[in-house]
Chain A
Amino acid sequence: MRTTPPVIAASAAVALALGLTGCAASGGGGDADAVTITLATWRTEDTAMWEEEVIPAFEASHPGIHVEYAPVDTNDYNAAIQSQLEGGTGPDLIMCRPFDVNRQWISKGYFDDLSDLDAISSFDDTALSAWAGDDGAPYCVPVASVLAGFYYNKAIFDELGLEVPTTQQEFIDVLDAIKEDGTYAPLALGSADGWQLAYNMLYQVGPNYWKGEDGRLGLIDGSQKLTDPAFVEGFTVFDSFSDYLPNGFESISYEDMTQMFTLGKAAILPDGSWQISQVDSTGLDVGVFGAPPASAGDTRYQQEMADMAIGLNADSAQKDAATAFLEWLGTPEFQQLYVNKLPGFFSMGTEPVTYDDPLAQEFAGLKEGAELTSRLALDRLSAGQPPLDDEIWRVAQLMYNTGMSPEDATAELQAGLDSWYVPAQ
Chain B
Amino acid sequence: MIRTAARYRLLALFVLPALIVYTAFAVYPLLSSVVLSFFDSDTGSNVFVGLDNYVFLFTDQWQSERFWNALGNSLEFFLIHLLVELPIGLLMAALLTSARIRRSVGVYRTMLFIPATLSVVIVGFIWRLIINPLWGLVEFPLLGNELTALPTISLMSVWQWLGIPMVFLYTALLAIPNDVVEAARIDGANGWQVFWRIKFPLIAPQFGLIVVLTYIWTFNGFDIVYALNGSAPGPNYSTDILGTFFYRTFFGSSGQVANLDLGATVASVIFFIILVTTAAYFWVLQRRLKTYEL
Contacts and interface: CB of A to CB of B under 8 A. Distances in A.
B255 A390 contact: yes
A83 B134 contact: no
A397 interface: yes
B270 to A, nearest CB: 18
A394 interface: yes
A190 B134 CA distance: 11
B230 A252 contact: no
Given A250-B141, A419-B61, A260 B134 contact: yes
Given A83-B251, A401-B144, A247 B133 contact: yes
A195 B140 CA distance: 22
B115 interface: no
Most buried by B among A79, A86, A387: A79
B134 A246 contact: yes
Contacts of A252: 132-134, 141, 144
Interface in B195-243: 230-232, 235-237
A380 B218 CA distance: 38
9 contacts: A75-B254, A248-B132, A249-B144, A252-B133, A386-B62, A390-B232, A390-B254, A401-B145, A401-B235
A342 to B, nearest CB: 22
Nearest to A377: B255
A389 B230 contact: no
B232 to A, nearest CB: 7
A165 to B, nearest CB: 25
Contact of A390 (B135, B142, B251, B256): B256
B141 A397 contact: no
Contacts of A251: 131-133, 141-144
B76 interface: no
Contacts of B237: 394
Nearest to A389: B255
Interface string B36-69: 0000000000000000000000000111000000
Nearest to B248: A79
A79 B231 contact: yes
A192 B139 CA distance: 15
Interface in B68-92: none
A394 B134 contact: no
A248 B254 contact: no
Given A250-B145, A251-B141, A397 B231 contact: no
Most buried by A among B63, B231, B252, B260: B252
Interface of B: 61-63, 131-135, 139-146, 230-232, 235-237, 247, 251-258, 260
Contacts, number: 97
Given A246-B134, A249-B144, A252-B132, 14 more contacts: A75-B230, A75-B231, A82-B251, A82-B257, A83-B251, A192-B235, A248-B133, A248-B144, A251-B144, A252-B134, A252-B144, A401-B144, A401-B235, A401-B236
Given A256-B134, A397-B235, A401-B235, A104 B257 contact: yes
A192 B255 contact: no
Interface string A391-411: 000100110011000000000
B278 to A, nearest CB: 30
Interface in A225-279: 246-252, 256, 259-260
B236 A249 contact: no
A401 B146 contact: yes
A385 B230 CA distance: 19
Given A79-B231, A248-B133, A398 B144 contact: no
A101 B254 contact: yes
A191 interface: yes
Nearest to A250: B144
How many interface residues does chain A have, given as a range? 35 or more
B63 A78 contact: no
A78 B146 contact: no
Nearest to B251: A79
A145 interface: no
Interface in A64-113: 75-76, 78-79, 82-83, 86, 97, 101, 104
Contact of B252 (A79, A190, A246): A79
A78 B144 contact: no
Given A250-B235, A256-B132, A398-B236, A195 B141 contact: no
Contacts of A397: 235-236
A382 interface: yes
Most buried by B among A78, A86, A256, A259: A78
A195 B231 CA distance: 13
A263 to B, nearest CB: 10
The 9 closest A-B pairs by CB, nearest first: A248-B133, A250-B144, A251-B141, A390-B255, A251-B144, A250-B141, A79-B251, A387-B255, A248-B141
Contacts of B146: 401-402
A78 B230 CA distance: 12
B252 A248 contact: no
Contacts of A394: 236-237
A246 B232 CA distance: 24
A355 to B, nearest CB: 29
B128 to A, nearest CB: 8
Contacts of A387: 255-256
A385 B132 contact: no
A79 B142 contact: no
Nearest to A385: B62
Contacts of B135: 256
Contacts of B145: 250, 401
B253 A79 contact: yes
A184 to B, nearest CB: 13
Given A192-B143, A251-B144, A397-B235, A86 B258 contact: yes
A246 B132 CA distance: 12
B141 A82 contact: no
A382 B251 contact: no
B46 to A, nearest CB: 14
